[in-house]
Chain A
Amino acid sequence: MPGIQGYGSYGNYQQMQTGVNNQGYGNYGMQQGVQNSFSSNQQTMRIQPSALPGRVVNQEQDILPNEVPMNGDVGFFVQKDLQKIYAKTWGGDGCIHTNVYQLVSMVNGEDQAPDPMSVISERLDNIEKAIREIRRPNYPKKNYNHRYPNKEREEKVDE
């Protein structure tokens, strides 16, 4: 009897045990006893956890299409610096679809990333300040009409 691979087959394993003993789960203790008497004739059954498809990568470009499982599973590719995890799967259109999970550092259960709205409002404040500064009456005005300063200089030299 071949060894059972992965958790997916565990249900069959339990069903098979029940079939051999003709008993339900209610008599589990007796079931074990009967199983022990058969154990000398059986090969060792190991339930191995199925490996997660994927690997550690330096960047997303390192992931080859061949590495994304074609059996419908999602391949997980962890960036080496642990900043991102790429979950890749084949779509029905023949393209690889990617979901990216990004690191959010938590300290005492609190999100340490800055609030996006506060970042935006801070940048808006900076722009507003800059505009106010430019509109000030004594703001040093630059002459932007000299579009070709080098040419003018050359002309002056010619004169």
Chain B
Amino acid sequence: MNNGIIQFAIQALANNPQVANTQIGKEFMNILQTGDYQRGVNLANNLCQTYGDSKEDAIQKAKNYFHM
């Protein structure tokens, strides 16, 4: 994954300790720091499934959120 995006995500989490201290936040931070791609994919898939979104919808929502 793009190193810039990883650094951005780590920084965003670090700036929001309320989110970073949650179970999911800690897991996400751990994935970003270790670079465990497969765990990241599993987490993303679980989130999509829980929200009832497809992978494509989720990516589009994320892009919209970050004005990409």
Which residues of A are at the interface with B, using a C-beta cutoff of 8 A? Answer: 65-66, 70-72, 89-96
Across the A-B interface, the 7 shortest Cβ-Cβ residue pairs: A94-B46, A72-B22, A92-B27, A92-B23, A94-B47, A94-B43, A65-B51
Closest to B53 in A: A65
Contacts of A70 in B (CB 8 A): 19, 22, 24
- What are 18 A-B pairs with beta-carbon distances under 8 A? A65-B50, A65-B51, A65-B52, A70-B22, A70-B24, A71-B18, A71-B19, A71-B22, A72-B22, A90-B23, A91-B24, A92-B23, A92-B24, A93-B42, A94-B43, A94-B45, A95-B46, A95-B49
Instruction: Flag if B43 contacts A72 (CB, 8 Å).
Output: no
B61 within 8 A of partner (CB): no
Bound-complex Cα distance A66 to B27 (A): 19
Interface residues in B10-51 by Cβ distance below 8 A to A read 18-19, 21-27, 42-47, 49-51
Instruction: Flag if B26 contacts A92 (CB, 8 Å).
Output: yes
Instruction: Flag if B22 contacts A90 (CB, 8 Å).
Output: yes
Contacts of A90 in B (CB 8 A): 22-24
Bound-complex Cα distance A66 to B52 (A): 11
Which residues of B are at the interface with A, using a C-beta cutoff of 8 A? Answer: 18-19, 21-27, 42-47, 49-52
Bound-complex Cα distance A93 to B25 (A): 10
Contacts of B42 in A (CB 8 A): 93-94
Contacts of B46 in A (CB 8 A): 93-95
Instruction: Flag if A94 contacts B21 (CB, 8 Å).
Output: no
Bound-complex Cα distance A40 to B47 (A): 51
Instruction: Flag if B44 contacts A94 (CB, 8 Å).
Output: yes
Contacts of B49 in A (CB 8 A): 95
Bound-complex Cα distance A94 to B52 (A): 12
Contacts of A94 in B (CB 8 A): 24, 27, 42-47, 50
Bound-complex Cα distance A150 to B56 (A): 55
Instruction: Flag if B50 contacts A96 (CB, 8 Å).
Output: yes
Closest Cβ–Cβ distance, residue A141 to chain B (whole Å):
54
Bound-complex Cα distance A53 to B14 (A): 25
